[in-house]
Structure 1
Amino acid sequence: MNVAANHAVTLRLEDLVLKFSRKEKTINTIPISFSFREGEKRAILCGNRRIRDELLGSIYGLVQPASGRISHQGLVSWPLGLKGGLDGKLTLRQNMLFLSSLYQDRVVPLNIEKFLKTFLDAAGLSPRERLKDLRSRDQKLFFLMTALAFSFDVFLVPSAQFLMGSENDQVIKYLRTVFEARIENHTLITTSGNKKFLKDFCDQGLAIDASGQQIFEGSLDECFDWMKASSSQGDSVEESDIVDESLFSRDLSNEDNQSELLEII
């Protein structure tokens, strides 16, 4: 899984300063500079969930950093498992076809209708159901499935909630299989707190402390060791994989303005 040093840089952070609140105080992180290369699978480790979410949101363009610059080559996914450009008033089929029209040159399945049907059959859903009428879990499964219909150059994964689970869960098993195929030879950046997911899919890590200071980058195992050795209990990587969706959902929603293309080139 190691990426050769001569692989092209797909995304670069230059003196990126994030802004977040802690105990009613606004705090700026120490500048972060880092490059992600083509095909690289890297976990961002930080005990402060807010910093991880802010960083991923900044990479996609949802969150305005305090200062710094983000540059990239190719197409960056919206954070997988979050709403993306979906409209709750539309049916599941209408939403899938709408996104397919936006990213028509990035659609992977030869038959998008068949791809949708395979997922819906496994999940026990109908293509005629409106997105907003689904249970919360089914909505999130649908969010993830739609993102996996496309080939992105950089995949952003804030949570592994619906990529890990029982082998008897056919929906999660299907989504995980598709996910494995999509990220092959593409860049993966994840802020998931699920250690099993990180060990299954990442070989590189970037360790950041609770103040936002980059403390180590290297192999995933080495980063875990550094986090354990240099962090307090409150700074360690947690097993919880719950994302603060309020950071993403309003900006990602496409319900009031379907003309906006959620595309970063």
Structure 2
Amino acid sequence: MAITENVQEGYVSSETHAGVTTIEFYHPQSNAMPTLQLEKLAQAIHFAGTHDETKVIVLKSAGDRSFCAGASFDELMQIKTPAEGEKFFSGFATVINNMRKCPKFIIARVQGKCVGGGVGIACAADYAIGVEGADIKLSELAVGIGPFVVGPAVERKIGTAAYSALAIDATMWRNSDWAKKKGMFAEVHENIANMDESVKRLANTLAHSNPEAMAALKKVFWQGTEHWDTLLHERALISGKLILSEFSKNAIAKFKAK
């Protein structure tokens, strides 16, 4: 079964084979995330979680340079009210919450750089496999906001000290080895072929494991995050207000001009 949802110039596709559902997203701007793309990704994750044929999910993006560039700068520039801002950032909240509540394990295949919301999505996966060159950066403070929505997922995965370092030094890239040492990546491979072989091996192993045991184990792993349904949307309101500042508008314009 294969489903493809076109989103403006990008897409979200979903394909199930032998118990493994592969969800792929793409956007021409380094796999950035506009609202519609976030909605389609959240829907695909929710559907796979309720789909009996799905035993495990592989989350990936297209191309070989960027896993996800985070929020769409084009859309951020168009936000005019706090309500519009909250709606946009709630898109990331819904994706992370759907990943958290999905009863199937989610393996993130991280083949390139992660920025902002992309770091949050990778951290919300149950098991992330990266490649050398999959550097990470939480760039939100550099554009006048902060990683409020994705912060809980990042902090849960790598700890408060490492999360704080990423959030505060918002212009500095951390390499994939740093991310592995902090716990974001369970594995880092020297090339994409080796990474894909590891993703395939683990996905096939989990596809033949006990679904009830995996669902129960995932519930244990995520214990204590039940309040995220409210928390992440409250955080979206913070970002939604800050993105209206003159500082943010000017900073985004500078980034787009580069």
| Range of TM-score over shorter length | under 0.3
State the TM-score, normalized to the length of structure 2: 0.28
Ranked by relative contact order (alpha carbons within 8 Å, sequence separation 6 or more), the top structure is: 1
Higher helix share: 2
User: Which of 1 and 2 has greater Rg?
Assistant: 1
